[in-house]
Amino acid sequence: GEDVEQSLFLSVREGDSSVINCTYTDSSSTYLYWYKQEPGAGLQLLTYIFSNMDMKQDQRLTVLLNKKDKHLSLRIADTQTGDSAIYFCAESHSGGYQKVTFGTGTKLQVIP
């Protein structure tokens, strides 16, 4: 079955770049997503990348995909205190409807 793994915790200083990493096992993954969850809230989709892409940039966010190694990363430039949250990597694959499998989440702490 699908498995998505992330490191549990990342601490960075305000203004630095954050890089959150994710590995997945399903080679047929079609879409890979990054969601953000703030305390007491549901998940919010930040961005996603189609599996035939290597990189996607959206303002301060850069997603890199290494399909060969099944590795996905999210880079947040100029990290702000408001970026403190839990970040979930997720994947879905083609074939019927696209069930989304979430990772365990990485808690990002931004130190002022």
Partner 1 sequence: EAGVVQSPRYKIIEKKQPVAFWCNPISGHNTLYWYRQNLGQGPELLIRYENEEAVDDSQLPKDRFSAERLKGVDSTLKIQPAELGDSAVYLCASSLGTGGADTQYFGPGTRLTVL
Residue 56 or 60: the one with the smaller Cβ distance to partner 1 is 56
**Residue partners of 98: CB distance under 8 A and separation at least 6:** 30, 31, 92
Q: Is 31 in the site for partner 1 (CB under 8 A)?
A: yes
Residue 14 or 51: the one with the smaller Cβ distance to partner 1 is 51
Size of residue set near partner 1 by CB under 8 A:
23
Q: Is 24 in the site for partner 1 (CB under 8 A)?
A: no
Distance from C-alpha of 83 to C-alpha of 80, rounded to nearest angstrom: 5
Of 53, 36, 47, 55, nearest in space to 103 by CA: 36
Q: Is 39 in the site for partner 1 (CB under 8 A)?
A: no
